Every structure is written in C-alpha cells, then in structure tokens.
A and B are shown apart, each in its own frame.
Chain A
Amino acid sequence: MSPATITSQLKEKFPEAILDITEFADEKILHIKSQHILLVLTALKSAGYNFLADLTAIDNLTLGGFERFAVSYHLLCHETAERLTVKAYVSEEKPTLPSVESLWKTADWQEREVFDLYGIIFEEHPNLTRIMNPDDYEGYPLRKDYPRLGRKERDDFPVVNRGIRKKKPLE
C-alpha cells in the first residue's frame, strides 16, 4: 500500500490519533499523539510495513512542534519498497509512551537508547535500562538543554589507587 493511501486510511480510522500529515522531499510524515502509537503501528504493520528500520527521538526545544519530544519511527515495506516516517509527540511533563517491543524485537535496544539519551520512558518495555551510558549516569545527554561539554561528570570519576608509588620528581 502506498504511503498516500495508507495515511488517508489511517486518518479515517483513527481521527483522534492523527495530528497532521506532512510531506518533505516526496516522503510522507505522519504526526500522531503518543498514546495511540501502538494502535497505529499495529495497523501499519498489518498493512505491509513489516520492517522497523529506525527508531529515534528529537528534542523540539527550539525547533518547535506539537510537544517537547518527538519519537520517530522509520518503517519499510518489503513488498512495495516504500518507506514511511511516523512521529509520536511526547510532552515534557510526562515523557511516556507505549513500547512497540511486542511488534518488533529490534525496538528493545533502540527504545533503551532513546531512554538513555532522552529520558523518554517506554511503558511495558521488558528491560528499560541505560544502554550507552553507565547505570549511575545522571541526565540525558541528547536533550537540547544538556551542555555539549557535559556537566563536569569527569571531575567526579573515582581515583583508582593500585598501590603504585608516585615517582619522585627529578631535581
């Protein structure tokens, strides 16, 4: 099913879920409310979009959008070789949305990565822990209000003393 027909079908089927349908560089982008993501993606999967190519997030702090965060899903249909982007909008106060791990196992690690770098919580995810950063890391580095040079985390690294005596400086 081509992206144009499937998006119009979805708009009829879930009128309350879809915020907008836009197009950039001849590719359709479906903007939806985050609580309906599982419904919409289940419908898309049964319509032939069987491959979740990529799952990531965008912090819309200065870009502007429906909400602070957008979680974007890049779907691929192996039959017709067509791609579709779905963006689910998540608010800053309650950054939660349903996990799609039940549809695609690849969402497991990708959702963990989004959680690690953006602090977006995926409900009913089997193991939502940090994947890139250490478990005791504070903050979410890819958020726009996180400074590029970090928050002095490096200064607090514990010093490992292996019992090696310091060399005396040459006189």
Chain B
Amino acid sequence: MNRVTEQPIETDKMVLNFGPQHPSTHGTLRIIMELEGETVKKATPEIGFLHSGFEKLGEDLDFNQYITITDRMNYLSPLCNNVAYALAAEKLMDLKVSKRTEYIRVLMCELSRIADHLLNVGMLAVDLGALTAFLYGFRLREDIYDLFEIATGTRLTTSYTLVGGLMRDIPDGYDKAVIKVLDETVEVTNEIETLLNKNRIWQDRTKDIGSISKEDAISYGISGPMARASGIDWDIRVNEPPYSSYEDFDFDVAIALNGDVFDRYLVRMEEIRQSIKICRQSLDKMPTGDVSIDPDLGFSLPPKDEVYNSIEGLIYHFEVTMPNRGMTPPVGEAYVPTESPNGELGFYIVSDGTRTPYRVRTRPPSLMNYSIFSKLIEGHMLSDVPAILGSFNVIAGELDR
C-alpha cells in the first residue's frame, strides 16, 4: 500500500534467469523463476546442459572400459559409482568376489561418503555466508582425496574397481593413514557442528525452509539422506538384501522428521559419524586374501607387472581385451541399487551375450531428487533458493549423464 496515494502498489512479475552459470548452482543448472517482489511464484528448472551421452557410449565400451565413464558421473564420490557399476556387472555374470575386495570397497565407499557430505555441508554453508565451516570441510576433504590418491593413483578419476575385483590392493600402512584422517574427521565434524547447529542465523535460514513431506518424498522418488530427513526409515545398506558385505558392519541409520534444509544437514552430519564407524570396523576386520578373481575365468586383467615383463602375461592381456575375445556374460538383465551419498544409485545392465553391454542405464539419484525442486521453492523467498539447492547436492554430471 502506498502511504501517500493509499493505493495498492502495482508490481509486475519479474522473470529471473538463474544459471546456467550461477556460482551457487555448483554445476550447470538453469532455473527460470517468476518473481513477485522477492517471492518466487513459479519456477521452471531446465536441465541437460551437461548431457554427454554416457549411456550411448556404454553400448560401445566393454564392461571394464565403462568403469572409467562412471567416474565422470558423480564427480564428488566417483568410487561409489565404480563400486555400484561393478556390482551390477557381477550380478549379471554371477561372479563372487573375495571378502577382502568387499571390505576394501566398503572402506572406499564410506570414505567417499564422508568427502561428499563434507563438501555438501560446506557448500551449503558458504552459500548462506558461513565461510569457516566450508574451509574446515574442504581442507579435510583434501586429506581424504590424498587417501584416494595413495590407493588408486588418482584423486578424481579413480576407476578403482574391475568387474570381479579391484584394480590393485591397498598399500601397506594404509590403515594408519586412514585412521589419522578419521581422527581428524571426528574433530572437524564436531567443529562444524559447534559453528552451525546453534547458530541463530543458520537456524533462521534453514529451519522450515523447503520442507518435503513423507508422501511427496515417496511420490517423487526421493532417496538417500533427503528421504531420511523426511522421516523415511530406508537405507539400502540395511533394509534390503545386503550388498558388498554391509551386513558385517554395525552402524545406525540417521533419520530426521521435518524434512527441511536443517534436517537434511543434520542427517548428513550424522551419516559422516556413522561412516567413520564403518571405516574403522572395516580396517579392524580387514580379511587377508586376493583382490582379483580367478584369472582362469577369463574375466580379470592380469597384473600390469606381468603384462610388461612376461610374454605369457602380454598374450593373456590381449586375450582379454581383443574385440572378439574376453567376457561373455549371459543374455539377461540386472538392476543393482546401492546407497550412494546422494541416494539410490542403481545400474541397470542389459546384455545380449557379447562383450559390450547392450544397454547401460544409470539410475541417478540427483535427477529424482531434483525433480521436486520447482515445487519446493514456489512461495519461498529468492534468498532461500540457494539454501534449498545447496541441501539437494545436485551433481550435474550425474543429473544429465
């Protein structure tokens, strides 16, 4: 109401183009928002800016080659993608991997979960103006990436798994390095929680913002920490037939009830704690043995040392990798869901019996989680959009594939 004329102030709707290169999208997302004042009236997300045809590529690459593509999907926790894909291929071919392989995979998955959640919480904080928490999380994530580098040779494009095993075993003394980082993680999570949990500004900006109800979460196919923050007690590691020996580990599933940004943050922080527990257990109980399967099956690549230094190894390597040799999976299809840091990451492989898969489908958690976004931000203030977007942890590489 205008004080002088006592007439309502006419405001036009403003269309705001958010992204695709806005810093708080942390990727390439575009949202076209209709604003009335500072309130979002309508939002249309547009995705596909990073569509790279990974699924089409998979039809031309063999089962082990495609593992390098899975790295590029979720670039915050590539090891989880490697493991999920390897599990799907192993289910298709009915392969059993050794206990040590499974334990190392669990260790790597949980380390990536810690790194992923730390980055997500940090990004959410920095979008809302809390730089310190972000820096604490980012520095620790650097140490975890160093651990990946020690084990896999690279920081981001890990390609650590093979169908039926692992690229290589973890080096001697790796457990000491991991425990050192885990001890630091406990401190850092405590520090971040001290900074944020009871911070008045943090609570004002995150509580009752972007609440997802339980029914909506199921209808929109939301999974992972976001679903658990809405009160759905569902964790694929616990509730479904276990994969990769998760039944051997003792840990709790974090759930919250309100489904708002604050609860999603709390669930992620608690999951970091539980992951630390799992990592410690996996190091304590680490079985001895081999990490690749029986070479006589014709599935696994020989050790690189043998390939370079012996003629038999070289011939065997060619036998596995030549176009008309190598793996022959049965005709059929397999869908394996795994609990990735973002939610249910599934790989669906259809095989026609040749050495390349007929169809590789990724069930990206980000796509389903992001689909509720436009519904959530309608009616919220513009400044809440980065908060809600940050709590989703949308990874564009996985969203668009």
Are B371 and A25 in touch, CB under 8 angstroms? no
Quick check: which of A4-12, A33-41, A102-110, A160-168 contacts chain B, the rest being far away? A102-110
Cβ contacts under 8 Å, A74 to chain B: 335, 346, 348, 363
Interface centre among A27, A51, A52, A62 (most CB of B within 10 A): A51
Q: Is A154 part of the binding interface, using a Cβ–Cβ cutoff of 8 Å?
A: no
- State the CA gap A72–B219 with chains docked (Å): 18
Majority DSSP secondary structure for residues of B touching A? mixed
Given A25-B332, A58-B359, A63-B352, do A141 and B221 touch, yes or no (CB 8 Å)? no
Q: Is B15 part of the binding interface, using a Cβ–Cβ cutoff of 8 Å?
A: no
Residue ID in chain A nearest B51 by CB atoms: A132
Q: Is B280 part of the binding interface, using a Cβ–Cβ cutoff of 8 Å?
A: no
Are B334 and A132 in touch, CB under 8 angstroms? no
**Interface residue from A29, A51, A62, A117 paired with B221 (Cβ < 8 Å):** A51
Size bracket, chain A contacts: 35 or more
Cβ contacts under 8 Å, B344 to chain A: 53
Q: Is B361 part of the binding interface, using a Cβ–Cβ cutoff of 8 Å?
A: yes
Closest-CB distance, B61 to chain A (whole angstroms): 10
**Interface bits B335-364 vs A (CB < 8 Å: 1, else 0):** 101000000101010101000001101010
- State the CA gap A156–B59 with chains docked (Å): 26
Cβ contacts under 8 Å, A51 to chain B: 218, 221
Cβ contacts under 8 Å, B47 to chain A: 131-132
Q: Is B48 part of the binding interface, using a Cβ–Cβ cutoff of 8 Å?
A: yes
Given A24-B333, A131-B48, A133-B48, do A54 and B241 touch, yes or no (CB 8 Å)? no
Closest-CB distance, B11 to chain A (whole angstroms): 28
- State the CA gap A27–B221 with chains docked (Å): 21
Cβ contacts under 8 Å, B216 to chain A: 105
- State the CA gap A165–B136 with chains docked (Å): 47
**Interface residue from A83, A109, A133 paired with B367 (Cβ < 8 Å):** A109
Given A25-B94, A81-B240, A133-B48, do A56 and B361 touch, yes or no (CB 8 Å)? yes
Q: Is B174 part of the binding interface, using a Cβ–Cβ cutoff of 8 Å?
A: no
- State the CA gap A105–B216 with chains docked (Å): 8
Are A105 and B352 in touch, CB under 8 angstroms? no
**Interface residue from B234, B333, B358 paired with A78 (Cβ < 8 Å):** B234
- State the CA gap A58–B59 with chains docked (Å): 12
12 other A-B residue contacts (CB within 8 Å) besides A81-B239, A109-B371, A133-B48? A24-B332, A25-B94, A51-B218, A51-B221, A58-B359, A78-B218, A83-B335, A85-B333, A85-B335, A108-B371, A132-B400, A133-B51
A residues sitting closer than 8 Å to B (CB atoms) are 24-25, 27, 29, 50-54, 56, 58-59, 62-63, 72, 74, 76, 78, 81, 83, 85, 104-106, 108-110, 113, 117, 130-134, 141-142, 146, 148
19 A-B residue pairings within 8 Å (CB atoms): A25-B91, A25-B92, A53-B337, A53-B344, A54-B361, A58-B350, A59-B359, A78-B218, A78-B232, A81-B239, A83-B337, A105-B220, A105-B372, A106-B371, A110-B221, A113-B367, A131-B47, A142-B56, A148-B59
B residues sitting closer than 8 Å to A (CB atoms) are 47-48, 51, 53, 55-57, 59-60, 91-92, 94, 216, 218-221, 223, 232, 234, 239-241, 332-335, 337, 344, 346, 348, 350, 352, 358-359, 361, 363, 367-368, 371-372, 400-401
